[in-house]
């Protein structure tokens, strides 16, 4: 590297990384408070057919949310059992929700943040 690059460009890039907002940061003011009405868990295998490798177990969790204006049915799929347990424990509690189209950003009472999506009302 040249002297000018080390002296001016690298500190500038480092400063921009610290100051520039990340697109993955959850905006605190756009969340709404919702109540979890019901939670349903379904366990299924990740892949079908014979395989010489171990199958990954996935959990599909469908839960219903009640906002002040409307109710939503939300689906979430994960292989992480702790996330499923946190969702099951949040039944009947208030959570924070950010809705953008069919995608939801959910913050559970434990502080865990998940990304879920809206599903048919018959799934809840």
Q: What is the per-residue pLDDT across 47-92, written as a single tens digit (0 to 9) for each? A: 556 667 677 788 899 999 999 888 999 999 998 989 999 999 999 9
Two structure tokens written together for 67: 């906002």
pTM of this structure: 0.65
- Of the candidates 37, 45, 50, 22, the residue with the CA atom closest to the CA atom of residue 121: 37
Query: What does the domain layout of the chain look like in residue ranges?
Result: 24-123
- Assess whether pLDDT exceeds 60 at residue 120: yes
Looking at 21-30, 60-69, 100-109, which range is the least confident one? 21-30
Percent of the chain as helix, strand, coil, to the nearest 5: 25, 40, 35
When the pLDDT of each residue in the chain is averaged and rounded to a whole number, the result is 79
The Cα 63–Cα 119 span in angstroms is: 10
Grade residue 16 by pLDDT with cuts at 50, 70 and 90: low
């Amino acid at each position: 590297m040249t002297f000018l690059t080390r002296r001016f460009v690298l500190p500038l890039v480092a400063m921009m990384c610290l100051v520039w907002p990340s697109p993955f940061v959850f905006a605190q003011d756009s969340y709404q408070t919702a109540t979890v009405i019901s939670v349903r868990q379904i366990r299924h295998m990740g892949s079908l057919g014979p395989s010489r490798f171990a199958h990954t177990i996935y959990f599909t969790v469908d839960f219903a949310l009640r906002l002040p204006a409307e109710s939503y049915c939300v689906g979430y799929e994960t292989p992480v059992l702790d996330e499923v347990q946190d969702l099951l424990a949040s039944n009947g509690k208030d959570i924070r929700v950010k809705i953008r189209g069919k995608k939801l950003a959910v913050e559970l009472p434990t502080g865990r943040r998940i990304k879920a999506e809206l599903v048919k009302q018959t799934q809840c």
